[in-house]
Structure 1
Amino acid sequence: MSLFERALNDELENFARAGIRISIIGDSSKLPKSLQDLIDKGVQTTKQNSRLHLVVAVNYSGQHDVVQACQTIAQKVKDGIIETKDINSFLIEQELQTNCIDFPCPDLLIRTSGELRLSNFLLWQLAYAELFFSHSHWPDFGEAEFLEALCSFQQRQRRYGRQSS
């Protein structure tokens, strides 16, 4: 965690200057207080930036994200704010932690290190994402691998659940 804190501290001014907005998804309450404070500062400092949106998943669980969204919606039904007939995909998406993102459902997920699984990451949001698996580990994943992923993505026929004709 000290590496995370040091990197964020070193880059925060650059992020602000470059127009990069920082958001955190997950449960950061288990992090050291100094890191929590720095994250809060980074989120507040960059909240008006719009050139790039960096979303950092910290202690994030896709299953927990869906469960907490359901709990929030259930409480709204109980409180009479909404009715059960109002529950739909759009409402659920609004309660997920990625509601801080303009486009919360990625078109492409690049999974590094040779793993062939989602690992409890953005389970709802990845429903129609294209998946690309690379044997490169994250620090070694470079421009060549990124271009390979993009070329693979460009060759796909996106059907969003529809059958091909």
Structure 2
Amino acid sequence: MWIKSIAMEEWVRNNIRLSVIKDKSMLPNSLQQVISEAKEALKANSRLHFIIALSYGGRYDIVQACKSVTSKVKDGLIQLEDINQSILEELETKCAKFPNPDLLIQTSGELRLSNFMLWQVHYTEFYFVDKCFPDFEEADFIEVLNSYQK
């Protein structure tokens, strides 16, 4: 597994936390286990939060949040009148300190969101890059940041 190949000691030494936002049903059990173990080993880290969107979809995320809220209403934990925009904190990105990004970089030349973080990007600046992600370099990132500053 690729996660096992990452030197866990280096992640701990660099104080990096790991989260994976995903549709669990799409992943093999062996991968779910590796992800769970890595998240547990790194959960106390706080310098950098590395979030991997693996088998993630914005529509799926919203549906799961709705199911969670509906379940809470059904169980009497909240009332129908309590439902508002902030109640949708049940989204996969609730793991992040700042779940709504200020900037989203879309690589590959695609000019679309591709079902990615549909709820969270309501005030996000978008930057589209023709390069695919593996070819995206530091100079490209600096160009994006310079554009974003304007």
Same fold? TM cut 0.5: yes
- The structure 2 residue matched to 1:113, chosen from 88, 100, 108, is 108
State the distance in 2 between where 1:73 and 1:28 align.
19
Q: Give CA deviations for 1:119-159 in whole Å, capped at 9, x if unaligned.
A: 0000001110000000011011001110111011111xxxx
- Tell me what 1:100 maps to: 95
- Tell me what 2:65 maps to: 69
**TM-score between both structures, scaled by the size of structure 2:** 0.94
- Tell me what 2:86 maps to: 90
Alpha-carbon RMSD across the aligned residues, in angstroms, is: 1.2
Structure 1 residue identity aligned to 2:116: F
Matches within 5 A, 1:145-160: 145-155=140-150
Matches within 5 A, 1:1-165: 5-6=1-2, 8-11=3-6, 12-92=8-88, 94-155=89-150
- Runs (5+) with no aligned partner, structure 2: none
Superposition deviation, residue 10 in structure 1: 2.2
State the distance in 1 between where 2:74 and 2:28 align.
35
Contact 1:29–1:36, Cα closer than 8 Å, also in 2: no
Q: Give CA deviations for 1:10-41 in whole Å, capped at 9, x if unaligned.
A: 22222122110001111234333332221111
State the distance in 1 between where 2:66 and 2:48 align.
30
Structure 2 residue identity aligned to 1:121: F
Structure 1 residue identity aligned to 2:143: E
CA 68–31 in structure 1, closer or farther in 2 if over 3 Å, else same: closer
- Tell me what 1:158 maps to: none
Q: How many corresponding residue pairs?
A: 149
Specify the SS of the correspondent of 1:56: strand
Specify the SS of the correspondent of 1:55: strand
Identity between Structure 1 and Structure 2 (%) = 50
Divergent runs of 4+, >6 A: none
- Runs (5+) with no aligned partner, structure 1: 156-165
Structure 2 residue identity aligned to 1:68: Q
